Structure formats: C-alpha cells, structure tokens
Amino acid sequence: MRHLLSTRDLSRDTAIGLLDVAEDMADTQLREVKKLPTLRGKTVVNLFFEDSTRTRISFEAAAKRLSADVINFSAKGSSVSKGESLKDTAQTLQAMGADAVVIRHPASGAPQTLATSGWIDAGILNAGDGTHEHPTQALLDAYTIRKRVHGAASRGKDLDGLAVTIVGDVLHSRVARSNVWLLTTLGATVSIVSPPTLVPVNTSGWPVTVGYDLDEAIAAEPDVIIMLRIQAERMRNAFFPNSREYSRRWGLDDGRLHQLRATTIVMHPGPMNRGLEISAAAADSPQSTVREQVANGVSVRMAALYLLLSGDREDA
C-alpha cells in the first residue's frame, strides 16, 4: 500500500487484510508489549490544518508504539498562518526526511493533492479532508463492529448480512462517506437517516437507502446504529432544524435507546454533542462502543502505518 486516501479505493481483501493486521497489533498490546521495533528510523509527520483530539493523538500513539519518530505540526502557530502554501509546507517536510505524512485539512482532496503532486515522496494518510473522507475512522468502525459481532474469531471475516443505519448530518460528514463505501465493500447493508436538509444533493451513486424518519429506521431493527455529530462549524446555507427539533426527531434519546434491540451496537465517531444527537444514557450504555472505537483506533492506525512504511510500498 503506497497511500491511504479513501475507503472507496479499498478492495474487500485489502480492507480485511488491514483489519487482520490491526488485530495482530491489538494482540501485542494485550501481551503488554509496549513498543515494537518495526518502524525504528522512520519519521511520521502529523500535519493538522484542522482541530483533532482522537485522530491526532491515536496516530501519534500508533507511530510511537511502532518506534517511529513523530513530528506534530499544527497549522495554528506555524508559517501557514503567514500564508505559506501546502506545496511549500510539503517540501519543508520532504527536506526534513518525512517517511509518512498524516494530513487533516479543511479542503476535500488535499491528501490526494499531496499524494499525486510530486512535492513529497512520503506515504500519505488521510486523517480527514473537508467533507470528503476519513478512512481510518471507517476502518476503526469496521474493526469495532467485526470484533463485537465475531469476537475472538473475527480474523478474515467481513460484515456480510449486517444492517447498519447512519443517522444525522450526512451532508458534512466525511465519516459517513468513508463508512458508506467501506461497510458496503465488507458486505453490510447501509441506510442513512437525516433531516432532508442534511442529505447530500447527489446520493444517486451511493450504495445506500435514504430515509428521514428515525423511529421507522429503529423499528427495522438495525444491527448497528452510527450517530453522527452535528457539525455546526460547517453549517452555511443548510437549514439546520433548531436543537430541540433536531434532538426530538433525529436524536438517539433515552426513549429511542430502549426501542433498540439489546444487541444493537450504538456508535459515534466523536466528539459527541451530548443531549443533541445522542443522550448521555445512550453514549454510556453497554450497547455503546464509543470508548472501544477510540481504543481500537490505535491498533488500526498502527496497521495502516505498518502497511505503508514496512516493506515495498506498492500503489494501492
């Protein structure tokens, strides 16, 4: 694998292979092997042009657990605020010997630009670009679902036959897009449920059904329900139902939590707006995998860095 830019590009075999390597990485953590020597001498740069807690910290933890050197770069406080371009920033990182660049950027397509521009020779990992994709989030979500469903026997397995409902602000969600592609590649049936104003205009090529009624979706007894964050910072012209209306019609509140089957997995990528898209009781219930998702993110990102930086880097 040369870069990890999107889940739309991933084949079923590549995705399952990555999840299996993530299981191997998780096993080393269970055996309390704090550090693997695998990426000693490699340099990973975390290049974040947007805020992040989970993704940035878990990429840093993943790189360090593989013994790579890590450089954290945040656009705030850097020469980007003086107007330095992405090209000059990339060439600075090239001069510093970066082997991998983990990039989060508000512009959809920025990681693809870095990967194809020739400005830098490093492997590029997309940590979230605009409203386009967030592939490692979808991979850790798939890993978490697979682990809950198949337990210790999950290696080599896909998500065939599972029904996944993604709820909320799909319009602005790169997590939703990456999950739509990856989960369907892995055999799940995906539906999205949103206010009509928060569904992207053109979902005709998406392998999903679109609905607007959360209670109807819950009555269909999904295996997994993924609640999305309302991205207030990205709302421009979209009509946003006010918070009370949104929560009443599209929030996973305590009443809806009790309507779900006891086996339905409740997911959220974080950060959560508690009381808006998800109640505290739902977020903290035994059905919720919110904390598991964060923990699994480290293993998944270790796997991604390992596959990019060890051995031959082939075009993916």
Site residues (vs ligand CP, CB under 6 A): 52-55, 128, 137, 269-271
Give ∠ CA 282-287-291 in degrees, rounded to 5: 80
In 106-241, at which residue ranges do the beta strands (DSSP E only) sit? 123-129, 163-167, 189-193, 208-211, 224-227
Using the minimum distance from each CB to ligand CP, give the nearer residue, 119 or 143.
Answer: 143
Nearer to ligand CP, 55 or 247 (CB): 55
Cβ neighbours for 23, distance < 8 A, ≥ 6 positions apart: 143, 154, 155, 299
CB nearer to ligand CP: give 52 or 179. Answer: 52
Calculate the alpha carbon distances from 253 to 26, 120, 270 in Å: 33, 47, 17
For the CB of residue 158, give the shortest distance to ligand CP in the complex, in Å: 23
CA dihedral angle for residue 267, residue 270, residue 272, residue 277, rounded to 10 degrees: -40
In the complex with ligand CP, which residue's Cβ is closer, 123 or 269? Answer: 269
Distance of closest approach, residue 216 Cβ to ligand CP, in angstroms: 27
- Can you tell me which residue has the tokens 């194809």? 116
Minimum Å gap between C-beta 128 and ligand CP is 6
Residue with CB nearest ligand CP?
Answer: 55
Smallest distance, ligand CP to C-beta of residue 212, A: 25
Rank residues 55 and 285 by Cβ distance to ligand CP and give the closer one.
55
Q: Has 104 been labeled as part of a binding site?
A: yes
The residue among 226 and 303 lying less far from ligand CP, judged by its C-beta, is 226
**Any binding-site annotation on 271?**
yes
* Distance from C-alpha of 41 to C-alpha of 134, rounded to nearest angstrom: 27
The answer to whether 155 is a known ligand-binding residue is no
Give whole-number Cα distances, 266 to 73, 152, 172, 221, 296, in Å.
Answer: 33, 20, 20, 12, 15
Residue 42 marked ligand-binding: no
**Strand pairing category for 265-267 and 224-227:** parallel
- Minimum distance of ligand CP from residue 136's CB (angstroms): 9
* 229 marked as part of a ligand binding site: yes
Is 137 annotated as belonging to a binding site? yes
Closest listed residue to residue 6, CA positions, set 101, 100, 121, 137: 137
Known binding residues for L-aspartate: 82, 174, 229
Residue stretches of the annotated binding site for carbamoyl phosphate: 54-55, 104, 134, 137, 270-271
Specify binding-site residues.
54-55, 82, 104, 134, 137, 174, 229, 270-271
